[in-house]
Amino acid sequence: MASSKSSVRLALDASITTELMNATMAVVAEPGAVFVHQLAFDPGSRDDVEPATLTIELNATDAQEARVFGQELFSKAQSLAGGSPRIATVVWVAPLVHSPESSHRFLRRAKDLISDEEFDLAVVAAQIHLEVQVTTLVRQAIEPDPSPLIKVLMARERGWPPQHEASQRVLEALFGVKVTAFPGWQDYKTHVKRRNDVVHAGASIDRESAEASLQAVSRLWLWLNENAQRANFDHKHSPRSG
């Protein structure tokens, strides 16, 4: 099975040290190590609401292999840094666009824009992140199917925005869930209106609203990602596919 680019985010139960960062880089540079595209440490929030995290973009054949590779890499880094290896909590495992640039860059950019008090642009960047990631999930789900209809779907250039009815039908068919059943659907609709007000009317956005948009988008993406992985697992293990 061919490998593809995945993102693994691990929540750390301790602060990030220089020794740990250097050890992680050393593990990645070892001969025969899993190919890693990017590493990103985030110290989390000062009030400990958000933990410190390590995000690894690497090559793997599927989500399970990506999860194992990420945990193994972090375990080796902890040992090299002089600590006792501990299993980290997995925040997400997600497919990425196979390109030199990280398709998570819009999520990072949204956070940076909030820090820079560019709240309106943060809302727009958050929506770009969601649409890129949803399109990635759809493409990953339909790529194995060689039918002409699937090729037409893959050629679609405008992605699969979850707020559009046509996109909702595709996502339900692929992942077995109604997008409107997402627990934070109303929050997401509020975000979409906020984003449209910025793009089409130059609306001004405050910090609280920008943070709410980022949270709504992140929650919806992770919810869709979990359902996509579950649908993929069920398909692989169904009697018909076996």
Can you tell me the distance from the alpha carbon of 155 to that of 139, in angstroms, rounded to the nearest whole number? Answer: 10
pLDDT tens, 140-197?
Answer: 888 777 677 777 766 665 678 999 998 999 999 999 999 999 999 999 999 999 999 9
Can you tell me the distance from the alpha carbon of 100 to that of 33, in angstroms, rounded to the nearest whole number? Answer: 19
Number of domains in the chain: 2
Same structural domain, 38 and 123: no
Can you tell me the distance from the alpha carbon of 98 to that of 83, in angstroms, rounded to the nearest whole number? Answer: 34
What pLDDT is recorded for position 195?
A: 97
Same structural domain, 161 and 81: no
Same structural domain, 66 and 122: no
Q: Tell me if residue 60 falls in helix, strand or coil.
A: strand
| Stronger pLDDT, 147 or 230, i.e. the higher one | 230
Domain boundary among 33, 65, 95: 95
pLDDT at 205 over 90: yes
In 3D space, the residue among 19, 107, 129, 10 whose CA is nearest the CA of residue 58 turns out to be 10
Lookup: tokens for 206: 């405050």
Q: How far is CA 165 from CA 52, 70, 203, in A?
A: 37, 36, 26
pLDDT tens, 20-69?
Answer: 999 999 999 998 888 999 999 998 877 667 889 999 999 999 889 999 99
Domain boundary among 66, 95, 124: 95
Decide if 181 is inside a domain.
yes
Same structural domain, 44 and 114: no
Same structural domain, 109 and 215: yes
Domain boundary among 62, 95, 128: 95
Q: Tell me if residue 40 falls in helix, strand or coil.
A: strand
Lookup: tokens for 162: 């979850």
Q: Distance between the two ends of the chain, CA-based, in angstroms?
A: 15
Same structural domain, 196 and 231: yes
pLDDT at 2 over 80: no
Decide if 27 is inside a domain.
yes
Same structural domain, 132 and 88: no
Over range 213-225, report the average pLDDT: 96
Decide if 100 is inside a domain.
no
Same structural domain, 116 and 204: yes
Domain that holds residue 69: 4-95
Q: What is the pTM of this model?
A: 0.84
Over range 80-104, report the average pLDDT: 87
Same structural domain, 224 and 133: yes
Can you tell me the distance from the alpha carbon of 53 to that of 57, in angstroms, rounded to the nearest whole number? Answer: 13
Q: What is the CATH number of the domain that holds 67?
A: 3.30.70.260
